[in-house]
Structure 1
Amino acid sequence: MEFAEFINTPKVDNVMLFQPFKNPQQGTLCITGHHLIFSTRRLDNTEELWLLHSNVDMVEKKSSPASLKFVMILKCKNYTMLQIDFQNAEDLNSVAMSIENLSNIDDVTLKYPFFYRAMFEPLEDGWQAFLPENEYTRFKECSEDWRLSYVNKDYSVCPSYPHAVIVPKSIDDDTVAKAAAFRQYGRFPVLSYYHRQTKAVVMRSSQPLTGTNNKRCKEDEKLLNAVLSIGKRGFIVDTRSSNAAKAAQSKGGGYEPEMHYSHWKRIHQPVERRQAFNDSLIRLMEACCDYGISMDKWLSKLESSNWLTHIKDILTCACTVAQVIDSEGANILVHGSEGYDTTLQITSLVQLVLDHDCRTINGFEALIEREWLQAGHPFNDRCSKSAYAVSKSRNEAPVFLLFLDCVWQIWQQFPCSFEFNEEFLILIFEHAYSSQFGTFLCNSEKERKEYGLSKKTVSLWTYLARPEILEKYLNPMYDPNPRVIWPSVAPQSLTIWNAVYLRAMLKQAKQKEAWEEIKKIQDHDKELRSKVARLRRQLALLEREAVGAGVMMPAGLEDEIIPE
């Protein structure tokens, strides 16, 4: 297939571009296979805008021949909006149709990451940075009880799991494979996190296939009991309500019966399902895009969207798990139904709360790789459309966005405990939906290998490994905090992420200026400290030379040279 088939008009002159918080610009519009390019083409100051077609969520046309207005509005997946005015209806319809076609190509191999060529020298290969074998070394303290298993090396046991997983050392691969057959989509219990302080673990899986007959699987029971020491009990945290778990039984799913899992206590900590997330995001963005709305109506719409309620429920569940791990030292298994949506939200946030390493840039990237990409969150399905798209498939849902929003809520409550800034979270969000990098393409490691992403595309982590890029996303207020951080879920503690959902309505320049000023102060402070350290070293050298020559240094000299 050729991209030219979808491009009706490759170039249109004399169009007007309107962007939030910028003056209107006149220029030329060009359409390529992957980008919409707007250029002012002025001799004195040429400006260009490059927009990936994959970032376009909805194309809206407004045509009024009487007033000679032919307008196209592009609503993007990252919640930015562009308005382009044409001189005639023919150009408007032609360009709109081209963008609609190019933004809805399903063939993964035709996505831009397969055509993108890095214009920089990579310092490291991001595809190799967080392999399961490398991450296993993080859990070396538990290597006596856990092992790296390659039971899924050909992805036949569980298509959505990575080629290597961490399982109890006392359980052989045959037992693991039989336990997988008892879990939905083969997602058997695997190690997600080992807490060094209490030596407790978090595992994740999908629901057991008990059905209405309460079927049992001794291999699954054996696998779970292998993580419990003598006399210990574990907790199974089900992210569904008890009614939802019982309803799943009638469809062949279900939960772990107490009679067969006597050493495990089941707790229901309900978090809504992904369809509710979708509906909620649509209502949230409708409220955010409602210009001229009164305060009472805005608050009413915000509340009825239930977006902050979802955040509260997710954080509450994660903090419950973290508290059991931290205070009781009990082992926990987390699952909902499929095990690759709300389950991953919880296990990821538990680690962010408990482990300060996950609050660094490298640690957070490793967390996303380990708990989302390798754990089989179907990014291709979930992030194919966003809040504005008219026709939605039942697979789309802002599950990962909700996770990032929860991270932001914790970040803004503990701004000094994270190495990265807000821009870093926004960058991750934007690349999950539309990117020149291959990191978030496909639904699983299996699919990424089939398409050869590590050889044919560049990793986002490769791009971020460069010091000049990384510097943009460092938090100037970062003060490493090894302690557990407990976020508040009180109504006054949770707020709308303005820099994402209201970016087309609220100018963020003042906030950016404030952070830049903080960085300048910090840089100046570092420079002063460096000068003081250098002077102290020079003074110490002078003292040694003076002692060697038999000369006494005058008292108080250091205070004169290096004042407080």
Structure 2
Amino acid sequence: MASAHAGLPIDASSTPTLGTSLASPYVQSGRKTSSSFSDLGDYDEFTELNCCMTPEKPNLFNKPHPIHEENERVNEDGTIPVRHYGLHGTGIQLFPGEVLKLRVDHAAYIVYYKPTTEPESPPDAMTQASSSSSDSGTETPMPLFELTPAASNLPPKSFGALGAAGYTVVKGDCFQRSNATRSGSLGRGFVRATTQVGSALFKGTSTLINQTYEGTANGGVIGFAMGLGRGVWGFGSHTVKGAFRGVGHMTNAVGEVVLGMDPHFSLDGTLVLTNYRIVWTSAGSTGDTFDIPLESLVSIDNTSVTAPHVLHLECKHLLRPQFAFVDEETCVSFIEATMRLYSQGPYSFSTVHFNAIQTGTAIDPTDAEETSIPALYSSQEDYERLGLSDRERWTLVNNETYALFPTYPKSFIVPAGFTDQDIVELSAYRSASRVPAVVWLHPQTKASICRCAQPCAGLSGYAAEADKKIVALLRTGENFHFFDARSHIAAAGNFAQGKGTEDVRNYPNTELHHCDITNIHGVRSSYKALATVCQPNASDNIDLLLQRTMWLSHLSSILVAAQKMSELMCKGESVMVHCSDGWDRTSQLAGLVEVLLDPYYRTIEGFLRLIDKEWCSFGHMFRWRLGIGHGPNTEESGEQSPVFVQWLDCIWQVWRQVPWAFEFTDQLLVTIYNHVYSGLFGTFQYNCEKEQRDREALDPTRSLWKYLLQRQEAYRQSVYQEKESLAMVGQLLEIRVSESDLRLWNAHIACADPICRKYA
């Protein structure tokens, strides 16, 4: 869906800051900067929800009413019109294949903000939220916020801009709404609490009877016992919740004193669930909206006792939204409806979307002609451009069957003089059969960079003869350089498993460099910590928090190693890079070196080809690293890690310092970042080229590369100095790579703070 923020400026120098500007060596342009986070698609591929619906009732789910097949008419060209699903008053549009599941009116988006040191006046009685009880009788709940020409009692700093946008901010506690009544009368509050407890008692009794009866009917004595247990639990649960709700969704232990709470306000809106995403749209005329692709969800739940009407979402990226519903039942129903999409196992919208396009719902005919993800990277074209097609120096390995090298592309380059027997021996020596493959050749010095996995050296430090041979054939200049992305300690830890790193005593005229780049677990931990820094209520001490995440430090380690490798190649000395299995940090370093030395990879098409080459064809475990198809609330795999996002951040750090050397704006990077987690395309759903080929043959998906290339004019920037950049082939871009020279990418802020950043 097209974002409401698509028109925000891209140039960091003209981007408004979010919050009060602070002198910071880490955060660009002050505390935070806003960035236009990419659309999830384009308007010409949507179906607008503009048909009739049944009369709407506040705070209830409204299921869509599709036009039935028998009522559909055929267009003049023989195609079937796209089905329309009415969603009155939101302006939300659907992608091909997207189906509306549920809708909730008056779903308040809870926004946290950083408090000021000055005392704040209590919220106005007319704007404070009232009870959220599900048993409120005929009483209409107070709105969570109101649109007024002028707002008062606004939150501090950047979030005060919401008042200028037409919001009256409600600063009451969304989590204790049962205490707030229109009259403020303790008597009414007491009556309401009594009603809630009585209703909960009734529900609990009903649950006890029903569960016991069902258990008896289904399973005899054992079933009776199980049903009784569930019934008693339901009885107690409903009763306890009813009592707690009567005192404001919060209970205190004996001696417990509330010292403070996280300040927040809430914005009223509509929450919609489809088979692809969750969409929140603000009420009123502001038009604020943001999407949460289901593919991005890690967890969806509520706090069953303290705030059962509040929906908590955690995403694989930095978004951590919360929504307050009118009652607990609505919240639970929304969670259950979301989880039902995963009831049959792993679920992905990308195949549904592609199939819908194939059946005639795509306006763009080029999309309808697509049968599978086309390979943007052509190894033959790349080798010819790089000078790797010279058969006297280089040998092309045919891997079309993927039998010997299952995670490598269908063809790759090794130095000439290597025999089939050497190849077989080498495949057994390098972890996961990921042998040294040449991916780039310096046009002047003829030094090469090859990528591979760690050697199976073991405690004895064994080196296969084929490995010694390939290093000797690849060596140029005085020395050959091994770059192990791991630390020395981390590499040594693999020796006991029969793996490890190279012993330079086995390879004459070589040097070993340990890059000390953190592994996938460190990246995952750092990224989660970054989520806290990027939230609207981040502390004033943003520099310290950012340093503690180690995010910029990790970026610096990658950039330092890539710069060192590039410098050696410019001097005529070849390098080999690997980590453990050669599909995480190896892709990062190889891809970054090629961006620093080859201006073709800094063009729009060249950059996309580079990603397709180093990440998709040579294998990065996208399905594992992104948890593709796994529903929320499942055990998070230890294999998940935003390694590719970290690399995009490294590219942005380079782009920020020398934007004139890039054909594209940083919006291209932001768009790719967005679609890593969007689940709309199949480009980032596979672990290797073979897996992509096999799965696409059965369930084809759309290509992100084709989508971006069709719209490349939107990403072209005016400051690009094409002639100067292309003349620098083989020359290292001059950039600063220490941690103090790096900045927090504003795309992270945009991801974590989708609403307030607009009014910064």
Instruction: Give TM-score, length-normalised by structure 1.
Output: 0.79
Amino acid at match of 1:158: F
Amino acid at match of 1:79: L
Tell me the equivalent position of 1:116: 353
Aligned counterparts of 1:76 and 1:495: Cα–Cα separation in 2: 23
CA distance 1:155–1:16, shift in 2 (3 Å): same
Write the mapping of 1:248-259 to structure 2, written as runs, cut at 5 A: 248-259=494-505
Amino acid at match of 2:532: E
Tell me the equivalent position of 2:442: 195
Aligned counterparts of 2:483 and 2:104: Cα–Cα separation in 1: 59
- Displacement after TM superposition at 1:510 (Å): 8.7
Question: 1:18-48 CA deviation, whole Å, 9 max, x = no partner?
Answer: 3876864544x54343333567899x99998
- Displacement after TM superposition at 1:54 (Å): 0.8
- Displacement after TM superposition at 1:193 (Å): 1.0
Local SS of the residue matching 1:61: strand
Aligned counterparts of 1:45 and 1:286: Cα–Cα separation in 2: 27
Check whether the contact 1:59–1:73 (CA below 8 A) recurs between aligned residues.
Answer: yes
Check whether the contact 1:53–1:103 (CA below 8 A) recurs between aligned residues.
Answer: no
Aligned counterparts of 1:293 and 1:104: Cα–Cα separation in 2: 40
- Displacement after TM superposition at 1:213 (Å): 1.9
Structure 2 counterpart of 1:164, from 399, 406, 411: 411
Aligned counterparts of 1:424 and 1:52: Cα–Cα separation in 2: 19
Aligned counterparts of 1:402 and 1:91: Cα–Cα separation in 2: 37
Tell me the equivalent position of 2:331: 92
- Displacement after TM superposition at 1:290 (Å): 6.8
Tell me the equivalent position of 1:404: 648
Q: Number of aligned pairs?
A: 489
Question: 1:214-267 CA deviation, whole Å, 9 max, x = no partner?
Answer: 2231112212222235x7531111112223222221221122222321132222
Question: 1:434-468 CA deviation, whole Å, 9 max, x = no partner?
Answer: 331111111111111221259711111111121xx
Amino acid at match of 1:420: F
Tell me the equivalent position of 1:413: 657
Tell me the equivalent position of 1:552: none
Check whether the contact 1:73–1:83 (CA below 8 A) recurs between aligned residues.
Answer: yes
Asked whether 1:289 is paired with 2:572, we answer: no
Aligned counterparts of 2:625 and 2:352: Cα–Cα separation in 1: 23
CA distance 1:237–1:39, shift in 2 (3 Å): closer
Local SS of the residue matching 1:136: helix
CA distance 1:37–1:285, shift in 2 (3 Å): closer
Tell me the equivalent position of 1:494: 742
Check whether the contact 1:64–1:70 (CA below 8 A) recurs between aligned residues.
Answer: no
Check whether the contact 2:517–2:554 (CA below 8 A) recurs between aligned residues.
Answer: yes
Check whether the contact 2:269–2:283 (CA below 8 A) recurs between aligned residues.
Answer: no
- Displacement after TM superposition at 1:153 (Å): 2.1
Structure 2 counterpart of 1:14, from 105, 111, 123: 105
- Displacement after TM superposition at 1:127 (Å): 1.2
Aligned counterparts of 1:47 and 1:301: Cα–Cα separation in 2: 29
Tell me the equivalent position of 2:170: none
Question: 1:385-414 CA deviation, whole Å, 9 max, x = no partner?
Answer: 89x989432101121111111111111111
Of residues 410-419 and 13-22 in structure 1, the stretch that sits farther from structure 2 once superposed is: 13-22
CA distance 1:505–1:450, shift in 2 (3 Å): closer
CA distance 1:50–1:345, shift in 2 (3 Å): closer
Larger radius of gyration: 2
Check whether the contact 1:16–1:85 (CA below 8 A) recurs between aligned residues.
Answer: yes
Question: 1:276-307 CA deviation, whole Å, 9 max, x = no partner?
Answer: 11111112212333716232xx3222111111
- Displacement after TM superposition at 1:74 (Å): 3.0
- Displacement after TM superposition at 1:334 (Å): 0.6
Asked whether 1:357 is paired with 2:605, we answer: no
Structure 1 counterpart of 2:617, from 374, 393, 406: 374
Local SS of the residue matching 2:577: strand
Tell me the equivalent position of 2:455: 208
Structure 2 counterpart of 1:448, from 668, 692, 711: 692
- Displacement after TM superposition at 1:96 (Å): 1.7
Give the alignment's Cα RMSD to 1 decimal.
Answer: 3.2
CA distance 1:277–1:390, shift in 2 (3 Å): farther
Aligned counterparts of 1:217 and 1:238: Cα–Cα separation in 2: 18
Tell me the equivalent position of 1:148: 396
CA distance 1:294–1:19, shift in 2 (3 Å): closer
CA distance 1:455–1:272, shift in 2 (3 Å): same
- Displacement after TM superposition at 1:114 (Å): 0.8
Check whether the contact 1:438–1:453 (CA below 8 A) recurs between aligned residues.
Answer: no
Aligned counterparts of 2:452 and 2:739: Cα–Cα separation in 1: 31
Tell me the equivalent position of 2:67: none
Question: 1:303-347 CA deviation, whole Å, 9 max, x = no partner?
Answer: 111111101111000000000011x21111111211111111111
Tell me the equivalent position of 1:53: 294
Write the mapping of 1:269-288 to structure 2, written as runs, cut at 5 A: 269-288=515-534
Asked whether 1:267 is paired with 2:513, we answer: yes
Higher helix residue share: 1
Write the mapping of 1:292-303 to structure 2, written as runs, cut at 5 A: 293-295=539-541, 298-303=542-547
Amino acid at match of 1:496: L
Check whether the contact 2:395–2:418 (CA below 8 A) recurs between aligned residues.
Answer: no
Check whether the contact 1:149–1:173 (CA below 8 A) recurs between aligned residues.
Answer: no
Aligned counterparts of 1:242 and 1:226: Cα–Cα separation in 2: 26
Amino acid at match of 1:477: V
- Displacement after TM superposition at 1:209 (Å): 0.3
Aligned counterparts of 1:271 and 1:353: Cα–Cα separation in 2: 19
Local SS of the residue matching 2:299: strand
Local SS of the residue matching 2:387: helix
Tell me the equivalent position of 1:528: none
Tell me the equivalent position of 2:575: 332
- Displacement after TM superposition at 1:425 (Å): 0.6
Check whether the contact 1:318–1:346 (CA below 8 A) recurs between aligned residues.
Answer: yes
Structure 2 counterpart of 1:464, from 708, 730, 734: 708
- Displacement after TM superposition at 1:60 (Å): 4.4
Amino acid at match of 2:297: V
Check whether the contact 2:101–2:275 (CA below 8 A) recurs between aligned residues.
Answer: no
Aligned counterparts of 1:472 and 1:488: Cα–Cα separation in 2: 29
Tell me the equivalent position of 1:479: 721
Check whether the contact 1:136–1:148 (CA below 8 A) recurs between aligned residues.
Answer: no
Aligned counterparts of 1:245 and 1:121: Cα–Cα separation in 2: 51
CA distance 1:104–1:216, shift in 2 (3 Å): farther
Instruction: Give TM-score, length-normalised by structure 2.
Output: 0.59
Of residues 418-427 and 492-501 in structure 1, the stretch that sits farther from structure 2 once superposed is: 492-501
CA distance 1:292–1:146, shift in 2 (3 Å): closer
**Ranges in structure 2 where 5+ consecutive residues have no aligned partner:** 1-99, 112-161, 168-266
Check whether the contact 1:308–1:494 (CA below 8 A) recurs between aligned residues.
Answer: yes
Tell me the equivalent position of 2:32: none
